[in-house]
Amino acid sequence: MRSELALAIAQFNSGEFYACHDTLEALWLEASEPERTFYQGLLQIAVACYHLSRGNQRGATLLLAAGRRCLEQCDPDYQGLDLAAFLAGVAELQAQLHLAKTPLDSAPKIQLHLGVAES
């Protein structure tokens, strides 16, 4: 895994969504497929989380959907990450946003982790 991707994951997991966006954008700009779609999906979800943390529920909803569509094109363990669990968390967050009559109070609690190696 590239050190920049590891940094972006650490930023995302610690709630530094704007910094994560900047890190992922640099990777996305230089990537070719299928990495480009992968980075785009992560970037969109990071920006969605940033929007949500600032109360922009509509922007978050739109970007979560776009990012999820990108990441669903990737293998569930792409780059050694547990994308299946991450996407399940994204889907749960989307459901919460859909049901919420008022804006959610806090930043999302989804995280991205390395997959478990099979033995």
Q: Which H helix or E strand runs over 115? A: none
Burial class (CB in 10 A: 0-12, 13-18, 19+), 52: buried
pLDDT for the residue 101 = 59
Contact 57, 103 (CB under 8 A): yes
What pLDDT, on the 0 to 100 scale, is given for residue 1?
62
Which residue stretches of the chain have pLDDT < 70?
1, 101-112, 114-119
What's the pLDDT at 77?
Answer: 86
**The pLDDT of residue 79:** 87
Give the domains, in start order, of the chain with CATH numbers.
Answer: 3-99 (1.10.3450.10)
Contact assessment for residue 23 and residue 11, using Cβ atoms and an 8 Å cutoff: yes
Contact 31, 70 (CB under 8 A): no
Q: What is the rounded radius of gyration, in angstroms, for the C-alpha atoms of the chain?
A: 14
- Contact, 38 vs 78, CB < 8 A? yes
pLDDT for residue 70:
98
pLDDT digits over 47-71, tens only?
999 999 888 989 999 999 999 999 9
